[in-house]
Amino acid sequence: MRISSRGFWVRYSTSLLFAALACGCAVFGLIGHAMPDPTVDARYKSLAKQKVAVMVWTDRAMSYDWPTLQLDLSRGIQSRLQELAQKKDHPKELEGTRLVAAESVVRYQQDHPESDVEAVTDVAPRLTVDRLIYIEVQQFSTRPEESLELYRGSLTANVKVIEIANGKAKQVFEDPSVRVVWPPKGPEEGSPGLGDADTYERTLGAFTTEVVNEFVPHVQPRE
Q: What is the 3-state secondary structure (H, E, C) of 138-202?
A: EEEECCCCCCCCCECEEEEEEEEEEEEECCEEEEEEEEEEEEEEECCCCCCCCECCCCHHHHHHH
C-beta of residue 145 within 8 angstroms of C-beta of residue 185: no
Residues of the chain above pLDDT 90, percent? 67
Q: Which of 18-32, 76-90, 199-213 has the lowest mean pLDDT?
A: 18-32
- Other C-beta atoms within 10 Å of 20: how many? 10
Distance CA 176, CA 136 (A): 9
Note the residue count of the chain: 223
Neighbours of 71 (CB within 10 A): 17
Q: Check: CATH 2.60.40 for 46-217? A: no
Instruction: Provide the whole-model pTM.
Output: 0.82
* CA–CA gap between residue 141 and residue 153 (Å, rounded): 6
Say what the pLDDT of residue 145 is: 82
The secondary element (H helix, E strand) that includes residue 20 is helix 5-34
Reported as a single tens digit per residue, the pLDDT across 131-179 is: 999 999 999 999 988 877 889 999 999 999 999 999 999 999 999 989 9
Of the given ranges (1-5, 81-85, 172-176), which has the lowest mean pLDDT?
A: 1-5
pLDDT of residue 94: 96
Task: Kindly list the domain boundaries of the chain, sorted by start residue.
Answer: 46-217
- Which secondary-structure segment (H or E) carries 131? strand 131-141
pLDDT at 79 over 50: yes
CA–CA gap between residue 161 and residue 44 (Å, rounded): 8
